[in-house]
Amino acid sequence: MGRIRILSDDVANKIAAGEVVERPASVVKELLENSLDAGATHLRVEAGGGGRHLIRITDDGCGMLRDDAMLAFERHATSKLSSARDLLSVSTLGFRGEALPSIASVSRLTLETRSRDETVGTKVEIAGGKMLRCEEAALAGGTQITVRDLFYNVPARKKFLRSDQTELAHIASLATHYSLANPDKTFTLISDDKELLNTTPVDRLRDRVYQVFGSQTLDELIDLGERRGGEHALYTLRGFISRPQAAKLNRNSIYLFANGRLIRDRLLLHAITSAGYNILPPGSFPFALLFLECDPADVDVNVHPAKTEVRFREQSRVHDFVRDALRQALIESKPVSAIPLPARAQPGAQLPYSEFSQRIENQGWQGPSELPSALPAAPAAEGPLPEFTLRGPRPPAPRFDFSDAPAIPVADEQQLRIPVPETHGAFPPELVPDLSQSLTALADLRPLGQIHESFIVAAGRDGLWIIDQHVAHERILFEKILKQRAAGRVEAQRLLTPLVLQLTLAQQADYDRIAGELEAIGFETEPFGQRTIAVKAAPAGVGAAEVEKVIFEILEIAERELRRASLDDLRRSIAASIACQAAIKVNMRLDQGKMEWLLKSLAATECPMSCPHGRPIALRYSLRDILRGFHRI
Ligand SMILES: Nc1ncnc2c1ncn2[C@@H]1O[C@H](COP(=O)(O)OP(=O)(O)OP(=O)(O)O)[C@@H](O)[C@H]1O
Ligand SMILES: [Mg+2]
């Protein structure tokens, strides 16, 4: 690393300025980033009292020359930047020359450092920004910075610190995630003499994930491998995303790194949420650990004082690339729901700082907010003959009344009980079901009949399948509508008499904004007096009786989605809404031909395992479970 210089006013003024030190974890973040920039391979973090009393970071990086050790505490003193031009392609984590002076001004700080180019090291002591001492010291190569009594001279900020445990959790999360971003380095975290983290260098990110989270969590994650995208700029995405069944109820377990920098980026958060759209249940979010790499010139890191936000040169390309890569990974991994059903998405373990995480989530991110070990455990399949409880289906209003017989009412509370044998233990290898095979097995299913005129029971190569006829048809129609929409060839049908709808002022505004989308999807509408529209045609499958409901639903979606300004999401929501209305319902008798058609068409969809709202479509009672049930294995 070059010698430290003070940035000219011109460059300094171009740097996003603001408060750098908010809490102990922000100190740890800045110091760890400095150590990484210094090329350290061993990084040791010590914390006392959640970092309030003591934070010490020791590294074996390049160290500092004596003159630099003093200069480093001046504002805008950095070795990482010299001209405004350098700001356009920052390849180090630091660049502002702000961190050390900011930390030193609110603590008692000791810097001990030795560059390998000098025989003797330097020790500098500062309190509240005032240099107390600077002397020579016999030191090994590298740097150690000790920060004591954080905010001792700023009681107002000290007041806002949370419990030691909460502050420690933030530090732990940070150290853990920087260790994940740097698998080839050793990270140690010690709190009040207890070792919380110790990672040895490994070759692959996967191995580091294993070291940090353990094998059970690794099993719940999809390894993205390396995915590339972009046109002018090249983006590479690596990392992990949780399998759909391990989704979480908030965004706290999403960790994003852009060129090795931990960031909280709205655009990428939106891309991640959109990826799960129509695959994960609504309101659930994946655990994600994503590393996005690109040329430093294609991303502006100088947009946020705490360096936690970035701006990509091709914002929407990056968004779509990440969304599509993740969506593809989720679709590829979507398993058949086994019986018993996996538990619904659970919030991470209620850690003592979750209330705080919520608060900072609402306010925008200030630092990682949850210990990453909180992935929900896989549902246990232990104990003798557990009972599978299926809630009675929630019947949407019946639409296609194929049968003349009255529909069998299914109360919400009504439950069907099917005993299920335990599923653990050894299993002959030739019978171990392969997930990808079981997906292709869908195409070979032989329908045997219906339960409750709602669920198709089918025999397959690998076991007994139960398919929810409504959501299966919904998935088929959803993908068909999206394809037709993309090709500009939607099927529409004229209504015998135009339907006149009265809109509220807000609905009128939403209608004006999305009239083009409505038309493109098959609704022929036109204004008909004040705040009134006439609907003359609707997408095929949506009967006259449902048109009103679908239009109002779409206007509601438009209100929600347009605020987030994603046309792709709006289209998918509209397609899901139409598919839901047009799909066959539960409590409807299907003949053999219809059942066969439904299963074949389902097998041909891209994501046959979950409906556009994220509910499972098929349950499988595997051959293994059947054999176990009959005590044959
Ligand atoms: N652990 C370290 N090892 C070697 N040099 C360091 C270390 N920490 C800081 N330095 C030197 O001190 C300088 C000032 O550090 P500081 O963190 O204040 O600024 P920066 O890293 O350049 O920018 P930023 O404010 O964005 O972090 C760095 O540019 C670097 O030259
Ligand atoms: Mg720095």
* Residue entry with tokens 């059903």: 341
pLDDT at 461 over 90: no
Q: Provide the mean pLDDT of the chain.
A: 81
**Alpha carbon distance 264, 363 (integer Å):** 12
313 DSSP 8-state letter: T
Q: What is the pLDDT of residues 606-618, one digit of tens each?
A: 888 888 887 889 8
Report whether residue 98 contacts ligand 1, using a CB cutoff of 6 Å: yes
Determine the 3-state secondary structure of 457 from DSSP.
strand
Query: Helix axis angle, 544-564 relative to 567-582, nearest 10°?
Result: 160
Report whether residue 34 contacts ligand 1, using a CB cutoff of 6 Å: yes
pLDDT at 187 over 90: yes
Q: Shortest CA distance to 286 belongs to which of 297, 271, 300?
A: 271
Selected residue with higher pLDDT from 248 and 300? 300
Share of the chain above pLDDT 70, in %: 81
Q: How far is the CA of 100 from the centre of ligand 2 (A)?
A: 7
* Residue 337 in tokens: 């729901």
**Residue 78: nearest ligand to its CA?**
1
How would you classify residue 409: left for phi > 0, otherwise alpha for psi between -120 and 50, otherwise beta? beta
Q: What phi and psi values does residue 591 have, to the nearest 5 degrees?
A: -80, 170
Q: What is the pLDDT of residues 518-557, one digit of tens each?
A: 999 999 999 988 889 999 999 998 988 889 999 999 998 8
Cβ-count burial of 328 within 10 angstroms (0-12 exposed, 13-18 middle, 19+ buried)? middle
Q: Which atom of ligand 1 is nearest to the CA of 101?
A: 18
Q: What is the pLDDT of residues 152-178, one digit of tens each?
A: 999 989 999 999 989 998 999 899 999
Q: Which residues pair with 95 in a beta bridge?
A: none
Q: What is the pLDDT of residues 470-488, one digit of tens each?
A: 999 999 999 999 999 999 9
Whole-number pLDDT of residue 265: 86
Q: How confident is the model at residue 212 (pLDDT cuts 50, 70, 90)?
A: confident
Whole-number pLDDT of residue 219: 84
pLDDT at 361 over 70: no
Q: Look at ligand 1, atom 19, and give the residue with the nearest C-alpha.
A: 97
Cβ-count burial of 387 within 10 angstroms (0-12 exposed, 13-18 middle, 19+ buried)? exposed
Number of H-type helices and E-type strands within the chain: 18, 27
**Alpha carbon distance 618, 599 (integer Å):** 10
Q: Which residues pair with 532 in a beta bridge?
A: 502
**Residue 44: nearest ligand to its CA?**
1
Cβ atoms of 462 and 438 within 8 Å: the answer is yes
Instruction: Measure the CA angle with vertex 554, ends 548 and 556; round to 5°.
Output: 105
Q: Which atom of ligand 1 is nearest to the CA of 307?
A: 26
Share of the chain above pLDDT 90, in %: 50
* Residue 550 in tokens: 């679908």
**Alpha carbon distance 360, 175 (integer Å):** 19
pLDDT at 230 over 80: no
Q: Shortest CA distance to 612 belongs to which of 545, 557, 555, 546?
A: 557
Q: Which atom of ligand 1 is nearest to the CA of 34?
A: 8
Whole-number pLDDT of residue 337: 66
Instruction: Measure the CA angle with vertex 374, ends 369 and 380; round to 5°.
Output: 165
Residues 6+ apart with CB under 8 A from 333: 222, 243, 244
Within a 10 A sphere around the Cβ of 20, how many other Cβ atoms?
Answer: 21
Q: How confident is the model at residue 128 (pLDDT cuts 50, 70, 90)?
A: very high
Question: Which of 110-124, 214-228, 372-386 shows the highest mean pLDDT?
Answer: 110-124
Selected residue with higher pLDDT from 574 and 437? 574
Q: What is the pLDDT of residues 375-425, one digit of tens each?
A: 222 222 322 222 222 223 333 333 332 222 222 222 232 332 222 223 333
Residues 6+ apart with CB under 8 A from 529: none
Cβ atoms of 539 and 521 within 8 Å: the answer is yes
Q: How far is the CA of 78 from the centre of ligand 1 (A)?
A: 6
**Alpha carbon distance 574, 63 (integer Å):** 58
Best residue for ligand 1 mutational test, from 34, 112, 126 (most atoms within 8 Å of Cβ): 34
Whole-number pLDDT of residue 592: 94
Whole-number pLDDT of residue 463: 87
Selected residue with higher pLDDT from 274 and 408? 274
- Taking the whole predicted model, whether its pTM rises above 0.85 is answered as no
Within a 10 A sphere around the Cβ of 369, how many other Cβ atoms?
Answer: 25
Whole-number pLDDT of residue 374: 26
Omega before 347 cis (within 30°)? no
Residue type, 255: Y
Whole-number pLDDT of residue 233: 75
Report whether residue 80 contacts ligand 1, using a CB cutoff of 6 Å: yes
